[in-house]
Structure 1
Amino acid sequence: MNVTIDKHSGYCFGVEFAIQMAEDELAHQSTLYCLGDIVHNRMEVERLHALGLRIIDREQLGTLHDCKVLIRAHGEPPETYQLALENNLELIDASCPVVLKLQNRVKHAFDATTRQDGQIVLYGQPGHAEVTGLNGQTGNRAIIVMNEEDLSQIDFTRPVTLFSQTTKSTAGFYRMKQLMEERIQAAGGSLEAFDANDSICRQVSNREPALRRFAIEHDIIIFVSGRKSSNGKALFSVVNQTNPRSYFVENEQELDETWFEGAHSVGICGATSTPMWLMQRVADRISAVPEAAV
């Protein structure tokens, strides 16, 4: 049985940069705090915990003084930086440049649309760290939508500016855009007052067609990702639609030997938050499956 790891899978630049910054800091100190999971992958979080990375939440951040705190790739709202100043915290800022640029775009759009009695709409997952940071640029006044039911929050007779969380599905964004255009027309609003911005990271969106091709090439697909990863859920959906014999696992212990019955080739791929070492571990476990089992 041939086992192949997708060469295009694995960390995106932003996640790789954040983890490298954490490892560099921990090479010189025994403990480093990180606001939220550095990456939505339990296995990697556990590996870094062994090196001294300690995950904290926002409430715990308020109790810290005179120490270093890592800001992960997802970015943070302005109040986090204000709190750091007040508590004399040294921030190791690993915010992804793509996210920082989007935060700036959202801030400028909010300032402009406020003067026109407009609304900022974010297509993203409520409570997701990146969405929290983006919403912070609007004073937490953005409207967050995930599905068609959420559109009831929007007044379609007023101007609307739409942005997307960088890790959302491209198809999902354009479906939401279409639904909003239909609502605007039904409400008698003007499409000229609708500004839709495809702000999905191209490192994410470009993986979708590559994953479809990869999924077609193999009998079985094993998709490796943390279950909290928004990007992982989106990309697995792409893979599963292309190849029904696709399975989502968090690590090699979740593999089931019966999945590989009759298979000649297995493809292993993952999210932008999946480390290559974990996909290799899954590949090694599959390669060890007895021939009788397949």
Structure 2
Amino acid sequence: MSTVQEVILAEPRGFCAGVDRAIEIVERAIAKFGAPIYVRHEIVHNTYVVNELKAKGAVFIEDLAEVPPGATLVFSAHGVSKAVQAEARARGFEIFDATCPLVTKVHVEVAKLAKEGYEFIMIGHKGHPEVEGTMGQLSGGIHLVEDVADVARVQPAQTEKLAVVTQTTLSVDDAAEISAAVRARFPKVREPKQQDICYATQNRQDAVKLLSPQVDLVIVVGSPTSSNSNRLRELAQRLGTESYMVDSAAELKPEWFEGKARVGLTAGASAPEVLVREVIDRIKALGAVSVRKMDGIEETLKFPLPKGLKLDHMPAPGHIS
């Protein structure tokens, strides 16, 4: 029997500026050039968003050989390697780069320091497209570490010029712990002036830290492939609050809510608000009476779009949310 009285919404939650921009790039490309528009990798890691864009004429591919010559190609928000950029140019596609500017910032830093002779330790998750994109900025000299144990195993060619970079969607606390291990082993390591973990990841994790102690259960809206959404669920769990991640309201299980009076709700940076609303409706159907928003940071950042995507008649923004 559900005992839910109240739903508390984390603030901020859901879409970040990089995701907003990436989705808008695909929508504008479809509006300007017509379907199909090819997108390398899921534009953002969210099933609903990807399906909405597919319905509008986006075709998601992993291998550039699947894209016909002369087609329009969009790089996903996670960024791509130099090899993928070069292959796309060689194949003659019209290219729009939806890489999040905060990921591009890491790429620029890697290129700049590599010219000065630096090797890199990258803190991130093996196989994640953002990590593959960043590591693929150079042909070598970037050593990936996923945890503190990995730091002990790294064998850079030299330690005089060593810099650390980070995937933008990691757990802030995990990254700090791994960075400390890197500093302890390589005291001369150069760290970024501003941490690489993006503002949106930080803000959503900070909100969960405030939310978790106030509730009996935390629900995170996000897709299984979304790194930052997974980190939110892990964080709530680590803080001692039972926590589940769902791709949609259909995945909610009534038994999760038994004996839980207050439910906290948040969403990863690639999850649209429409999904949050559907989850709220489902929890209300289980008996929740009130919904209130926590106080939190209001995010106002917007990133400019690439040149060549200005439209005379633009559909109203925000159709996915």
TM-score (norm 2): 0.81
TM-score (norm 1): 0.88
Change (3 A) 1:205 1:139: same
1:143 & 1:155 partners in 2: Cα distance?
8
- Superposed CA deviations along residues 241-289 of structure 1, whole A, max 9, x for unmatched, are 2342222222112111122123332221121111111111111111112
Please point out which of 10, 16, 33 is paired with 1:12.
16
Aligned AA (1:170)? V
Q: Which stretches in structure 1 are left out of the alignment for 5+ residues?
A: 185-190
Change (3 A) 1:206 1:6: closer
Other-structure match for 1:187: none
1:166 & 1:290 partners in 2: Cα distance?
38
Other-structure match for 1:44: 49
Please point out which of 194, 201, 210 is paired with 2:189.
194
1:178 & 1:3 partners in 2: Cα distance?
37
Other-structure match for 1:101: 105
Say whether 1:225 aligns with 2:226.
no
1:94 & 1:27 partners in 2: Cα distance?
16
Aligned AA (1:89)? F
- Superposed CA deviations along residues 10-46 of structure 1, whole A, max 9, x for unmatched, are 0111011101121222234121110001111122212
2:36 & 2:136 partners in 1: Cα distance?
29
**Higher deviation after alignment, 200-209 or 103-112:** 200-209
2:86 & 2:180 partners in 1: Cα distance?
38
Alpha carbons 2:236, 2:242 under 8 Å: kept: no
Other-structure match for 1:89: 93
Shift of 1:211: 1.5
Other-structure match for 1:158: 159
Alpha carbons 2:75, 2:96 under 8 Å: kept: yes
Alpha carbons 1:33, 1:54 under 8 Å: kept: yes
- Superposed CA deviations along residues 76-119 of structure 1, whole A, max 9, x for unmatched, are 222222222211101121111111111100111112135xxxx2
Other-structure match for 2:234: 237
Other-structure match for 1:80: 84
Aligned AA (2:144)? I
Change (3 A) 1:183 1:220: same
**Higher deviation after alignment, 32-41 or 281-290:** 281-290
Instruction: Say which SS state the counterpart of residue 27 (structure 1) adopts.
Output: helix
Instruction: Say which SS state the counterpart of residue 266 (structure 1) adopts.
Output: strand
Instruction: Say which SS state the counterpart of residue 121 (structure 1) adopts.
Output: strand
Change (3 A) 1:194 1:156: farther
Other-structure match for 1:205: 202
1:249 & 1:7 partners in 2: Cα distance?
18
1:111 & 1:71 partners in 2: Cα distance?
25
Q: CA RMSD for the aligned pairs?
A: 2.0
- Superposed CA deviations along residues 44-95 of structure 1, whole A, max 9, x for unmatched, are 212221111111013535x531010111211122222222221110112111
Query: What does 1:37-186 correspond to in 2, within 5 Å?
Result: 37-60=42-65, 64-114=68-118, 119-151=119-151, 152-155=153-156, 158-159=159-160, 160-184=162-186
Alpha carbons 2:12, 2:203 under 8 Å: kept: no
Aligned AA (2:213)? I
- Superposed CA deviations along residues 147-178 of structure 1, whole A, max 9, x for unmatched, are 13322132486232111111112211221122
Aligned AA (2:63)? R
In the comparison of the two structures, how many residue pairs are matched?
279
Other-structure match for 1:21: 25
Aligned AA (1:232)? S
1:157 & 1:84 partners in 2: Cα distance?
34
Alpha carbons 1:4, 1:283 under 8 Å: kept: no
1:233 & 1:2 partners in 2: Cα distance?
24
Change (3 A) 1:43 1:243: farther
List 4+ stretches of structure 1 deviating above 6 A.
Answer: none
Aligned AA (2:190)? D
The sequence identity of aligned pairs, in percent, is 28
Alpha carbons 2:212, 2:241 under 8 Å: kept: no
1:173 & 1:220 partners in 2: Cα distance?
25
Other-structure match for 1:188: none
Instruction: Say which SS state the counterpart of residue 268 (structure 1) adopts.
Output: strand
Q: Which stretches in structure 2 are left out of the alignment for 5+ residues?
A: 289-321
Aligned AA (2:260)? A
Q: Which has the higher helix share?
A: 1
2:140 & 2:227 partners in 1: Cα distance?
21
